[in-house]
Structure 1
Amino acid sequence: MLKTPIARGVALATLGASLAIPSMAQAEFLKDSKASLEMRNFYFNADNRQSGLASEDSKSEEWAQGFILRYESGFTEGTVGFGLDAIGLLGVKLDSSPDRTGSGMLPVGSDGRTDDDMSAFGPTFKARISKSTLKVGTLIPKLPTVLPTDSRILPQTFRGAHINSGEIKNLTVDLGRLTENSLRSEAGYEDLTATNVSGGKATDKFDFASASYKWGDSGLTTSYNYGHLDENYKQHIVNLLHVLPISEGQSLKTDLRYARSTEDGNANVDNKAIGAMFTYSLSGHSFGLGYQDMSGDTAYPYITGTDAFLVNYVMIDPAFADADEKSWQARYDYNFAAMGIPGLTFMTRYVKGEDFGANGNGEEWERDTDIAYVIQGGPLKNLGIKWRNGSYRGETAAGADREIDQNRLIVSYTLPLL
């Protein structure tokens, strides 16, 4: 039996919800419940060199352990079904020091030291009518206008309300408001802020709306997405995704994206982002080519801590999304299942950006490589090991040279509990 505080929190929340539901309605609520414990062991090493900085400020090296306990109930019987989800988060420092912080895994105190641990518990109450579900509480939405990051030991979470509806065949509609944000390295919640926005304010209002339609068996999905971060920006995103089967084991994937972002309140935002990614797959091999174009007076805006919905949003550089920046990407993936080694995958990519900065002659590039293996059987089944390596070379907005080399080693395992 789990003894951690987050495990007890999930159990108490579930018990409380069960007591509040009439016994005749509890059957589906409990029968369809699911729970799991995900464990992430994360080692982060980065060498950050920038002209004008002392060498002792360049090192970032930390090691931490994350625990993510997820509970998802079924719904009570009746026209309106009620349920409860919950997430418990615990992050534990394994190794760090004031001269090696900066991994983004744990909170950093006023003395420059990372906290020994952090924990949080978030319940989510839900109601379902027909094919529509309302969730209120802790949320991890995944939409082009708001993509919570999940690239460290714990995921970013929000508080708010979210309606997801699938009443019309092939059409998915999402509506909602987010009011608070908890970063991946923080246990508490704060008002929302924006990245790449000057003159903006912290706010408790981010409204979003999304409609995604799958065009039958054509392999085509189109979507329109709207996001409004009060006193910061308004954003419209259109996405076209198409997969063309060519023959058995052979396909061409097209991903086209357009975003228009404008100011709200006294903020300064004016950005148009166009992106295209084409991926050809053949017998385990995937070859991708991408292009991204920023126009307007400012960089691409997005909620602080989230990932940006851009084809060139990669491992180290913040999205290759400076004002007027043009960037391209070449990517190669291989799934070793094609040669009889299921669970082993490889990815490498190169991104080059140019034509940005005060004089319009800024340049930057990034090279990333991922190797991952998930054990397929035996007592360690589903244990995952991933090594991520990245190198970045470029300039800051002030023109200073930057050189970054990173290595990340992640060992993960998910244990089903229900």
Structure 2
Amino acid sequence: MSFAFRFTPLFIALSASIPVTAQATDDNAEGFVEGSSLNLHLRNAYFNRDTHNHGARDTREWGQGAVARFESGYTPGTVGFGLDAHAMLGVKLDGGGGHAGTSILPTRVKSDGELGAAPHSFSTAGAALKLKALDTEFKAGDLFLTNPVIAGGETRMLPQTFRGISLTNTSVEGLLLEGGKVSFTKPYNQSGHRRIDTYYGSLDERGKSKHLSWAGAAWSGTPNITTSVYAAELKDIWNQYYADFDYTYVVNEQVSLNPGAHFYHTQDTGRALLGSIDNNTYSLHLTLNAGAHTVTAAYQRVNGDTPFDYINLGDSVYLDNSRMYSDFNAPNERSWKLQYGYDFAGLDLPGLSASLSYSRGKADLTKAAQDNIHYDYYRADGKQAQHWERDLDVKYVFQEGDLKDLSVLVRYATHRGGQGYASIDGNSNNDEVRVIVDYPLNVF
């Protein structure tokens, strides 16, 4: 499958952002100071991974993170000006060199190639200038981004940011138009910025791109329906296209059905720094909500001789079978998932929830592209590779008092892979525990 369509995402976004309806010129009248806010997010994170492999190290790290985010209002007038700024600090609480490498703390490679202990702390700060005219907002600087083709990682101790420009428009109620272009990223476990690469391309300097451009539209204006389409170009690596559809059918006050689908097409472009890529990946899900109970069945498929790849360290994997350890995204992989969730508000315990899932996948690695950089991640050897993962999440959010909104999340994952399925470090068998405590505070 090949797409000859050539696009400039930023131009599309700029064109689409022309306001449809005129509004009063005092939309920004709340003022730069009067409309400002300062929020502090404290996160304590503990990761422990047991590899069950005598030839590999177990990893274990614990840290405390803090993120302060200031967002100004806009100066009055037809075009309002504002400023967003943030500062982050990560502090190591535990994590020696023999157990480093969970990804929540910076990695330090010693002269002998082994991982050394992470530094005691790391920090970063950034800002973005912003302009607003009618329903169109433009930002330039350090950005927090979340969409299917470029989403900063939010699952570790500190978030990931990107450096570039973005544009959003909300002139039509229920419709979000957005686009942008970024050239650098600040990973969640580092202080400095670096070029953008992909998860599998990170093994090779050739996999770093000069910039990523994207444009997209998300619709939520129809009751019980959400849908979106996005397109992105990672220069000299790929063009990536995404579409999704989600529908909720309400049977009665207690019961509803939620079918949905996600689809990605990825095609190499330009100098094809990661080699030839022609990949179609999709997932389908059906969720039954019955009171406090939720049951989900999902099917996912990768059609292509390379894995489904995505921006390194990010969360732009909008697929149903992307789990805590595995994304079930190997070349020519088919996977399914069954998940059960329960909201303990049904037992008069509001704030407490839990979910349990089992996922299983099978990949035909006999067809994996051996002339592609992605191949290094898989040990094909002509095998049909199989693996499974079991995940348990338990979360409690304090509902009142001084600790209101503080949440405690405990996650446990078990992953097992058969012969023929192993990541590049050979660790296909893992038991992983994560404990994450979040405390969001609104200063003003």
TM-score past 0.5 threshold: yes
Match of 1:63 in 2: 62
Kindly state the Cα deviation for residue 89 of structure 1 after the two structures are TM-superposed.
Answer: 0.5
Out of 279, 287, 291, the residue aligned to residue 279 of structure 1 is: 287
Kindly state the Cα deviation for residue 339 of structure 1 after the two structures are TM-superposed.
Answer: 2.1
Deviation track 1:113-140 (CA, whole Å, cap 9, x = no partner) reads: 2011110111111111111111111111
With over 3 angstroms needed to count, the CA separation of the structure-2 counterparts of 1:376 and 1:398, relative to structure 1, is closer
Write the mapping of 1:294-309 to structure 2, written as runs, cut at 5 A. 294-307=302-315, 308-309=317-318
C-alpha distance in 2, partners of 1:360/1:310?
A: 25
Out of 409, 417, 433, the residue aligned to residue 386 of structure 1 is: 409
Match of 1:101 in 2: 100
Counterpart contact for 2:173–2:221, Cα < 8 Å: no
Deviation track 1:151-197 (CA, whole Å, cap 9, x = no partner) reads: 11101111111101112232211110011011111110001111235
Partner SS for 2:189 = coil
Out of 247, 250, 255, the residue aligned to residue 245 of structure 1 is: 250
Kindly state the Cα deviation for residue 248 of structure 1 after the two structures are TM-superposed.
Answer: 0.3
Kindly state the Cα deviation for residue 99 of structure 1 after the two structures are TM-superposed.
Answer: 0.5
Match of 1:221 in 2: 226
Kindly state the Cα deviation for residue 399 of structure 1 after the two structures are TM-superposed.
Answer: 11
Partner SS for 1:150 = coil
Deviation track 1:205-237 (CA, whole Å, cap 9, x = no partner) reads: 1000101223522x1122111011111111111
Write the mapping of 1:254-403 to structure 2, written as runs, cut at 5 A. 254-264=259-269, 265-266=271-272, 267-268=274-275, 269-307=277-315, 308-317=317-326, 319-357=327-365, 358=380, 359-394=382-417, 395-396=421-422, 402-403=428-429
C-alpha distance in 2, partners of 1:384/1:169?
A: 33
Counterpart contact for 1:277–1:291, Cα < 8 Å: yes
2:144 equivalent to 1:140: yes
Question: CA RMSD of the aligned region, Å?
Answer: 1.8
Match of 2:441 in 1: 415
Output the TM-score relative to the length of structure 1: 0.89
Output the TM-score relative to the length of structure 2: 0.84
Counterpart contact for 2:178–2:217, Cα < 8 Å: yes
Write the mapping of 1:4-15 to structure 2, written as runs, cut at 5 A. none
With over 3 angstroms needed to count, the CA separation of the structure-2 counterparts of 1:344 and 1:297, relative to structure 1, is same
Deviation track 1:289-343 (CA, whole Å, cap 9, x = no partner) reads: 00001012211121111122211111011x1101100000111111111221111
C-alpha distance in 1, partners of 2:398/2:186?
A: 32
Counterpart contact for 2:352–2:394, Cα < 8 Å: yes
C-alpha distance in 1, partners of 2:176/2:215?
A: 11
With over 3 angstroms needed to count, the CA separation of the structure-2 counterparts of 1:409 and 1:397, relative to structure 1, is closer
2:81 equivalent to 1:82: yes
- The one-letter code sitting in structure 1 at the alignment partner of 2:226 is T
Structure 2 unaligned residues grouped into runs of 5+: 1-27, 111-115, 366-379
With over 3 angstroms needed to count, the CA separation of the structure-2 counterparts of 1:98 and 1:214, relative to structure 1, is same
C-alpha distance in 2, partners of 1:170/1:397?
A: 42
2:48 equivalent to 1:39: no
C-alpha distance in 1, partners of 2:42/2:424?
A: 40
Counterpart contact for 2:143–2:162, Cα < 8 Å: yes
2:218 equivalent to 1:212: yes
Structure 1 unaligned residues grouped into runs of 5+: 1-24
- The one-letter code sitting in structure 2 at the alignment partner of 1:109 is R
C-alpha distance in 1, partners of 2:142/2:214?
A: 16
- Taking only the aligned residue pairs, the percentage that are identical comes to 30
C-alpha distance in 1, partners of 2:346/2:164?
A: 43
2:204 equivalent to 1:195: no
Equivalent residues, number: 388
Counterpart contact for 1:222–1:238, Cα < 8 Å: yes
Match of 2:167 in 1: 163
C-alpha distance in 2, partners of 1:246/1:141?
A: 35
Counterpart contact for 2:29–2:77, Cα < 8 Å: no
